[in-house]
Amino acid sequence: MSNSTDVKLKAGLVPLTTLTFSGADLDQVQKQLARKKAEAPALFNNLPCVLDLSGLEAVDLAALKDICRNSGLLAVAVKNCPEALLPQLSTLQLADLGRGQTKQAPATTQNTVKNQTVTEEKPQRAVKVHSANVRSGQQLYFDGDLFILGMVSAGAEVIATGDIHIYGALRGRALAGAKGDEAAVISAQQFEAELVAVAGQYKLFEDQHEQHKQAVVIQLNQSAVDDSANLNIMGVS
């Protein structure tokens, strides 16, 4: 009796972090990535990413990929690739995602193609409930949505590939959407964080701010035009 192995290909939406560059100075790119890694090291743990090559006509693509890899980022694809760099993609094992932003499907839950109805469904996330405080020096990671029924102390770090909901004070670091999920959110009953991040976009807090000690919800600002406005932090009454 012989065993058979089936291999199936399934289409799916996998969120990826995109790196954009304001110039082709690789020394500056390396310094910027080193600084960002020092501020949020958990984000740079073999994180798959897309390189947006808009305006980088003469960049050393192999060197750029190596710089990303040495920083803990795995470049798997490019978009907006200049014509001159296209021949290098196969050698560097980088996929070409074309140009511009990925177009969204029409605003409907179903698409009809040749009298067949195709329904797009988001994958279900796993859920973990942590019924304790996360103490200083501890790191808690979960592949899915993370619920913490306690506080996250200063010097502690909680990381999830999905949402993070903290039913207590957030005084340490919280990093949601750790694999690039831009729809991930962070919520906390008392906001005193050192750092928060969603899908690789992060914000440091060194001084008191408007939402200090408030209940908040944090999500990615899709319309931000610069890194200083990449996260929306909204008070919850």
Q: Could you tell me the pLDDT band of residue 152, with boundaries at 50, 70 and 90?
A: very high
Distance CA 97, CA 103 (A): 12
Q: Indicate if 131 and 225 belong to the same structural domain.
A: yes
Which pTM value belongs to this model?
0.60
Does some domain include residue 217? yes
What's the CATH number where 150 sits?
A: 2.160.20.70
Does some domain include residue 111? no
Q: Indicate if 160 and 88 belong to the same structural domain.
A: no
- Please compute the mean of the pLDDT values over residues 52-77 and round it to a whole number: 90
Q: What is the pLDDT of residue 64?
A: 94
Does some domain include residue 117? no
Does some domain include residue 165? yes
Q: What is the pLDDT of residue 37?
A: 85
The Cα-based distances of 66 to 9, 79, 205, 222, 235 in angstroms read 30, 18, 31, 29, 41
Does some domain include residue 216? yes
- Whether the per-residue pLDDT at 13 is higher than 90: the answer is no
Q: Mean pLDDT lowest for which of 64-78, 106-120, 168-182?
A: 106-120
Higher pLDDT: 207 or 96? It is: 96
Does some domain include residue 6? no
- Whether the per-residue pLDDT at 236 is higher than 80: the answer is no
Give every CB contact of residue 220 below 8 A, 6+ residues apart in sequence. 177, 182, 183, 184, 198, 199, 201, 230, 231, 232
Give the percent of the chain with pLDDT over 70.
Answer: 82
Domain count, the chain: 2
Q: What is the pLDDT of residue 173?
A: 93
Q: Which domain holds residue 84?
A: 17-96
Mean pLDDT of the chain: 81
Helix (H, G, I), strand (E, B) or coil at 191: strand
pLDDT tens-place string over residues 179-194 = 888 899 999 999 999 9
Q: What is the pLDDT of residue 123?
A: 59
Distance of CA 48 to the CA centre of its chain: 9
Domain end: 79, 96, 113, which one? 96
Q: Indicate if 81 and 158 belong to the same structural domain.
A: no
Q: What is the pLDDT of residue 15?
A: 65
Q: Which of 10-24, 107-121, 208-222 has the highest mean pLDDT?
A: 208-222
Q: Indicate if 137 and 81 belong to the same structural domain.
A: no
Does some domain include residue 102? no
Q: What is the pLDDT of residue 8?
A: 72
Q: Could you tell me the pLDDT band of residue 4, with boundaries at 50, 70 and 90?
A: confident
Does some domain include residue 57? yes
Q: Indicate if 30 and 83 belong to the same structural domain.
A: yes
What's the CATH number where 66 sits?
A: 3.30.70.260
